Structure 1
């Protein structure tokens, strides 16, 4: 079976743009006869006519038009990858993964980043993403992956690594009446105004962050949206709102005007868990290597100090 050569695909795509053998030859820097040879070779490989040509006009056949529409995105991706690799080689630069995150990135994660560079020659470009838009930048191809709270049920996404599950705590102002308690029952949320992530996240993800009702069915009020964790903590400190946070955030974002309390009565399935998420059709080896390194780092992660009244747990970013 004769292979399809990239030059044949390039020729057909150029001809589809120009619909003229002469102009196609000029763009490719070859003769018209070479254009005809490349198209004919591709047609023999495909076993179907792709181009109708007469002395007056050139047109794609119906199959040819469909094939061009299907193959063009793959060709453009290939040329982009080759151009990027060439530019990195010219500049002596590292391949970089673009990774988004919410809140903070902690020691185990940064150690995995260091090892990815040292062991695989892949650097990391980090960017904080809006709290309520966990998947948008990954789906749009603006990021290679994101460390975000689960669940991630989008069919286009893969969860390459799941961080250790964490308890969910309630952040309240230090002078709030609840701040004097050792813990708060989940039904108490019905009397509070709980901050919610603001963005374009799917409904199932929003409901996992801030449930619409307590387990007993009482509605949970949520009148204010936030874009970052720090924005939320500032609003909590002001006293009008409370915020559900993961334990690692409480461990590291300690401040005198906010107290984080364990929430009792959730039942099963209400822990917080982060995941390293990427597009299923872009699972490059560097992402799999990063997931494996995170698995190694968190397998031996020490237990972190907890805020007063909160037992310690394994660390993760959040």
Structure 2
């Protein structure tokens, strides 16, 4: 059997529909019929029963499929492995993430990446918010999903994978917890948690501002190191914290309330990597991440589908 005959036969055995098989194989429907007729003449028996209502494998067709499908899959895997090696897409790739929902996305992208590049090994790890770029610069991770904005000359910003409305996380007993929405100006009447560590000033001001848009000072609370600190401190009434609205799905618990902002820009999460250490593996992961996000409706819709 020639390669195109094997691929058309296996696709038809999976789809059991000549039109969908033709679409997947990138050929005309008549070409699928001609290929199948040629195979059946060569083998001397029908491989499919078909009429106007259904297509089904015969017993011999099922036997043929069971015999050649594993070998075909193995050939595809070896070709993919050789191609990856030729392009340099082999070895270890370490990917960082900042929160639960970015971790979910990265794990799903990693499955696609591993299937497409079987010669690679992936290591996924969380990056603490108090040192957002340290692991990238030290080489502990090769790329990561992180919150924008970012203005770091040595780092490359890749595709935006997630865009989320902003919400305010506060104790359920707080007076603003009963509001349908809050404003950035309302922060002047609360204590805002801050972030410890080597956080760029632009990033800090965007996510944890010191004053409202009209210039009113925002009381500053305890500095946090780990994301888990936020949940504990807010529950204890030590302050409030701006977060992505998706946090309500991942971190909801008694005593916490998520109230949407009505005037804050969305929080965007993008892939970031050191410009000097960009590799074929990094580029491939970024491309697959972009394709994965786009296939699920884009950065604003992706979390509804993972």
The answer (yes or no) to whether the contact 1:96–1:125 under 8 Å persists in 2 is yes
The answer (yes or no) to whether the contact 1:103–1:230 under 8 Å persists in 2 is no
Asked whether 1:285 is paired with 2:273, we answer no
The answer (yes or no) to whether the contact 1:113–1:123 under 8 Å persists in 2 is no
C-alpha distance in 2, partners of 1:250/1:148?
Answer: 19
Could you report, residue by residue, the CA deviation over 1:257-278 in whole angstroms, capped at 9, with x for unpaired residues?
Answer: 1110111233xxx321111110
C-alpha distance 151-176 of structure 1, shift in aligned 2 (>3 A): same
**Residue range with higher mean Cα deviation, 111-120 or 250-259:** 250-259
1:213 is matched with which residue?
211
TM-score normalised by structure 2 residue count: 0.65
2:184 is matched with which residue?
186
The answer (yes or no) to whether the contact 2:97–2:106 under 8 Å persists in 1 is no
Could you report, residue by residue, the CA deviation over 1:206-264 in whole angstroms, capped at 9, with x for unpaired residues?
Answer: 11111221111111122211122221011111112101101222222111211101112
TM-score normalised by structure 1 residue count: 0.63
The answer (yes or no) to whether the contact 1:112–1:297 under 8 Å persists in 2 is yes
Structure 1 position 314, deviation (Å) = 4.2
Asked whether 1:203 is paired with 2:201, we answer yes
Alignment of 1:1-318 (within 5 A): 95-104=91-100, 105-121=102-118, 122-266=120-264, 270-301=265-296, 314-315=302-303
Could you report, residue by residue, the CA deviation over 1:14-59 in whole angstroms, capped at 9, with x for unpaired residues?
Answer: xxxxxxxxxxxxxxxxxxxxxxxxxxxxxxxxxxxxxxxxxxxxxx
C-alpha distance in 1, partners of 2:282/2:183?
Answer: 40
Structure 1 position 119, deviation (Å) = 0.6
Structure 1 position 138, deviation (Å) = 0.6
Structure 1 position 132, deviation (Å) = 2.0
Structure 1 gap segments, 5+ residues each: 1-88, 305-311
2:9 is matched with which residue?
none
RMSD: 2.3
Structure 1 position 106, deviation (Å) = 4.6
C-alpha distance 313-297 of structure 1, shift in aligned 2 (>3 A): closer
